[in-house]
Amino acid sequence: MKNRFDLEDSIGDMANTSSDIETVIYAIGDCPNVPTEDELLNMLIGIKQLHETRYQKMWQTFEELIKNGTISNKEVNTVKMPPYDDGSMKMEETGDK
């Protein structure tokens, strides 16, 4: 069963995309063995796929935490009206909890 630390890890993994892009920048600008256009495109395609997979993993973890109750939105439906409300701002609960 996943917990909030798994979600934190998945969110942290999203930062790897930035590191991957820095590596491509190095390959373009500073690497003594300049990659071909095909090699650069392959690197970029790989980064794109890794980013999409990391995102899917993060979203799956988030959904699992919602499902098992680790994360909830119980505070979302609790709306406190401002003191100046004359009743015209009344919000009705939809029953979604």
Residue 81 within any structural domain of the chain: no
Residue 13 within any structural domain of the chain: yes
Residue 63 within any structural domain of the chain: yes
Query: Which pLDDT score, from 0 to 100, does residue 71 have?
Result: 85
Whether the pLDDT of residue 94 is over 90: the answer is no
Give Cβ neighbours of residue 94 (< 8 Å, ≥ 6 apart).
none
Distance of CA 94 to the CA centre of its chain: 28
**Residues 52-55: contacts with CB within 8 Å, 24+ apart?**
54/10, 54/13, 54/14, 54/16, 54/17, 55/14
Q: Is the pTM above the cut of 0.85?
A: no
Say how many domains are in the chain: 1
**What torsion, rounded to 10 degrees, do the Cα atoms 47, 51, 56, 61 define?**
130
pLDDT digits (tens, 9 = 90+) for 44-90: 999 999 999 999 999 999 999 989 888 877 765 565 656 665 666 66
Question: Domain range holding 27?
Answer: 4-67
Query: Which pLDDT score, from 0 to 100, does residue 89 have?
Result: 60
Residue 73 within any structural domain of the chain: no
